Amino acid sequence: MKSEILYQDATALAELIRRREISPVEVVQAHLDRIEAVNPKVNAIVTVADDAVGAAKAAERAVLQGHELGPLHGVPFTVKDSIDTAGVLTQRGSLIFKGRIPDTDATSVARMKKAGAILLAKTNLPEFSYSFESDNLLSGRSNNPWDLQRTPGGSSGGESAAIAARMSPLGLGTDLGNSVRGPAAQTGIAALKATHGRVPMTGIWPRAPRRFWHVGPMARSIRDLALAFSQLSGPDGLDAFATSTVQFDAGIGHSPHRQLRVGWMVEPGFGPVDSEVAATVRAAADALKSLSCFVEPVRIPALERDFANDVFTRLQVMETKQEFAAATAGRSQDELYKAVKKMLALPDVSMKDYMDAEQAVERLRDGYAEYFAKYDALITHVLPVPAQKHGADPFTVDGQTVDATSLRGATVPLNLTGLPGISMRFGTSNAGLPINVQIVGSWQAESTILHLATMLESVSPVRHLHPEV
């Protein structure tokens, strides 16, 4: 029964608990046993919540006593260690924050708990959530469960690895440039970066550049993303960006009143793309066409005029650098890891370049608005290559030598513009590594992309694959 529990998604676990076919204690204990067995190899979990079993026992009593149960009642979840958890270490991958224990939960964590979910553990990340690998001086390097010599990504790489390795069915990560969608692609799970402001960032650090940061669910099924998002979204009265009161409808099982129009592209505008990745995007587009969507290749001129990756770099250096400088003031360089040191050493961006980048963001938003006046969704790649080996930077993509920032070429436009996107697996490389596609929607249109993702998932040739770690 334990192994069966580990292969269930969160939605199934919640239903089994409601029907009293399994208990929350069994579910939590199965995942704790899995962490004990697998985490020494993967190093995704950095702290186990001391009260996880106690919370599971309380959840079991509520079931037996016939109490009203939340939609995630008794289901364990994990949380990236940049997200505050009351009474549980939240150390942000840094020696500077070693031993830090928050007094309150982040809004996202509080909402998961309100839905009945049980905090199981915290997951690894790069120092200050700033790198394409989840590696730091405090808790070490996380490994990809598909190949331990490769990275599960960053900055939510510990979270993606934990879910892929079945140490957790569901989790929370944060995304500045690709940090839930990229790690999901590197480990073959699913992740949602919703429209900016749909899920409050209250209780999460760092926040700069605040207008580009997101928090979102990571899971092994699209229906889990939809369920978690339905509990996470909405204003909290604390995050001024979280003001949308648009009602959420997952769209799963819904039959659109008209044919959905979908464009797909892998270039130009995103940088070079591996041929296997490009073929997976085409396969996803063909699958949607076979499911009666109108699908055609497209171009978005705004992406060709303003290279979003460069635009993002010019903006975030000036804002992130100040945030990091304030956090590290008076501390020894020996306490800092390489990515943070590199950020602090970068030269300032001129005011002219900074303002030009701000104008470019407006042009990108206008370009996407023009696109979504004609189409319901856009299918792209998530990453230009499957999971890279640890420390690979630079590396070669389609014959071109690029640095690690190229990994966010197709994802960072969504951070700059605030558009929602889903990362989901739809292919496998010749080396046996997962390949994900990205489904992009217009602002507030999470229901549309979740519906399309559900359609793709129903015909996915890789839906039931898991790493044998």
Known catalytic residues are 80, 155, 179
> Which of 113, 234, 107, 109 has the alpha carbon at shortest distance from 172?
109
Q: Sign (positive/negative) of CA torsion 113, 115, 117, 121?
A: negative
Task: Name the phi and psi angles at 401, rounded to 5.
Answer: -85, 125
Q: Which residues fall within 8 angstroms of residue 177, CB to CB, at 6 or more apart?
A: 212, 312, 316, 408, 411, 412, 415
What tokens appear for 217 in the block? 């669910």
Residues forming a β-bridge with 296: 263
Largest Cα separation within the chain, whole Å, is 65
**What is the amino acid identity at position 290?**
S
HSE-CB at 354 with a 13 A cutoff on CA atoms is: 11
Pairing of strands 170-175, 76-80: parallel
HSE-CB at 127 with a 13 A cutoff on CA atoms is: 21
Residues forming a β-bridge with 48: 121
Residues forming a β-bridge with 174: 215
CA–CA separation, 293 and 216 (whole Å): 27
Buried b (16+ CB within 10 A) or exposed e, 104-137: ebbbbbbbbbebbbbbbbbbbbbbbbbbbbbbbb
What tokens appear for 280 in the block? 């997976």
The single residue listed with the structure tokens 């099982």 is: 253
Please report how the helices 308-328 and 351-372 are oriented relative to each other, as an axis angle in degrees rounded to 10: 130
Q: Is 361:246 a contact under the CB 8 Å cutoff?
A: no
CA–CA separation, 77 and 202 (whole Å): 19
Residues forming a β-bridge with 123: 45, 80
Q: How many residues does the chain have?
A: 469
What tokens appear for 14 in the block? 């919640």
Mapping DSSP to helix (H, G, I), strand (E, B) and coil, where does residue 384 land? coil
CA–CA separation, 179 and 193 (whole Å): 9
CA–CA separation, 298 and 296 (whole Å): 6
> Which of 253, 203, 207, 212 has the alpha carbon at shortest distance from 232?
203
